[in-house]
Structure 1
Amino acid sequence: MRRIALVTLVVDDYDEAIRFFTEALGFRLAEDVPRSDGSRWVVVEPGPHGAGTGLLLARAKGEAQAARIGDQTGGRVGFFLHTDHFARDHAQMAAAGVKFVEEPRREPYGTVAVFQDLYGNRWDLLQPAG
Structure 2
Amino acid sequence: MPSIALVTLVVDDYDDALAFYTRALGFELVEDTDRGDGSRWVVVRPPGAPRGTGLLLARASGDDQRRAVGAQTGGRVGFFLHTDDFARDHARMTGAGVRFLEEPRHEEYGSVAVFEDLYGNRWDLLEPRG
Q: Shorter-chain-normalised TM-score: which range?
A: over 0.9
Residue 63 of structure 1 corresponds to which residue in structure 2?
Answer: 63
Matched residue SS, 2:68: coil
Residue 105 of structure 2 corresponds to which residue in structure 1?
Answer: 105
TM-score of the aligned structures, taking structure 1 as reference length? 0.96
Structure 1 residue runs of 4+, over 2 Å off? 48-53
TM-score of the aligned structures, taking structure 2 as reference length? 0.96
Residue 83 of structure 1 corresponds to which residue in structure 2?
Answer: 83
In the alignment of these two chains, the number of paired residues is 130
CA distance in 2, matches of 1:80, 1:59: 21
Shift of 1:111: 0.4
Residue 47 of structure 2 corresponds to which residue in structure 1?
Answer: 47
Residue 120 of structure 2 corresponds to which residue in structure 1?
Answer: 120
The Cα offsets for residues 102-130 of structure 1, whole Å up to 9 and x where unpaired, read as: 00001111100000000000000000010
Matched residue SS, 2:3: coil
Describe the shift of the 1:103–1:9 C-alpha distance in structure 2 as closer, same or farther (beyond 3 A).
same
Pairwise CA RMSD of aligned residues? 1.3
Question: Which amino acid is 1:57 matched to?
Answer: L
CA distance in 1, matches of 2:72, 2:105: 25
Matched residue SS, 1:67: helix
- Asked if residue 129 in structure 1 is aligned to residue 124 in structure 2, the reply is no
- Kept after mapping to 2: 8 A contact 1:81/1:124: yes
Gaps of 5+ in 1: none
CA distance in 1, matches of 2:26, 2:79: 15
Question: Which amino acid is 1:96 matched to?
Answer: A
Shift of 1:51: 5.1
CA distance in 2, matches of 1:113, 1:51: 27
Gaps of 5+ in 2: none
% identical aligned pairs: 71
Shift of 1:50: 4.1
Question: Which amino acid is 1:93 matched to?
Answer: M
CA distance in 2, matches of 1:53, 1:67: 26
